[in-house]
Amino acid sequence: MPQDYIPVLIQILIALGFVVTTMLATHFLGPKRFSRAKLENFECGIEGMGNARSPFSVKYFLIAILFVLFDVEVIFMYPWAVNFKELGKAGFLDMFLFMILVLAGFIYIILKGAFKWDRR
């Protein structure tokens, strides 16, 4: 039924309203002082140096992809952990099988040398 979605609509309006209100409020209320230091990119308080668009090693990309992969796989553990008692022995065996497959992949990439940073 369309009216069931009214709470969602209210939620969206509140979220949008909050953003618009705070942005307008800071825009009109705050004092405006511009200086060189203030217009610079914020980098943890350290002074920025050099160009950010310099080439960096493609190995970062590999590590990032592998991280995403195993991160997503860990997410599967949460619902299992919450329902551990209800799922019982069958659930445990299923998860065991799943972990073996994940580990097989993990051992494979270690043996393949994906984490050896300085190997050519």
Partner 1 sequence: MSALIFIAIFGIIVLYLGFANNKAILAPAAIGGLLITMALSIKDWGVGSKYFHDMIVVDNFSIAFNVSMLIITILIFLFGVNYYKRMEHHVAEQYALMIFALTGAFLMTSYSNLIMLFLGIEILSIPLYILAGGKKSSYRSNEASFKYFLLGSFSTAFFLFGIALVYGASSTFYLPEINTYIAQFNGHLPPMLMVGLLFILIGVSFKVAVAPFHFWSPDVYEGAPTLVTAFMATVVKTAGFAAFYRLLGMGLLPLPAALEKTLWVMTGLSLLVGNLAALKQSNFKRLLAYSAIVHTGFMLLAMLSQHDSAGSVLLYYTFVYSLATIPLFIIFIHMKRSAKGLEDLVIFRGLYKQKPWVAVFMTILLMSLAGLPPTSGFMAKYQVFTLAISQGYIAITIFAIVMAIIGVYYYFYVLREAFTDSDEPNPILIPFLNAALIVVCGIAVVLLGLFTFTIPI
The binding site for partner 1 (CB under 8 A) comprises 101, 104, 108, 111
- Min separation Cβ 8 and partner 1, Å: 19
Nearer to partner 1 among residue 75 and residue 104 (C-beta): 104
The distance of closest approach from Cβ of residue 111 to partner 1 in the complex, given in angstroms and rounded to an integer, is 6
> 64: closest CA among 114, 119, 118, 120?
114
- Closest by alpha carbon to 109, among 68, 62, 77, 75? 62
Which residue's CB is nearer to partner 1, number 95 or number 105? 105
Q: Which is nearer to partner 1, 29 or 111 (CB)?
A: 111
CA–CA distance, 76 with 82 (Å, rounded to integer): 11
Distance CA 9, CA 32 (A): 35
Whose tokens are 């209800």? That residue is: 86
Rounded to a whole number of angstroms, the minimum distance from the CB of residue 106 to partner 1 is 12
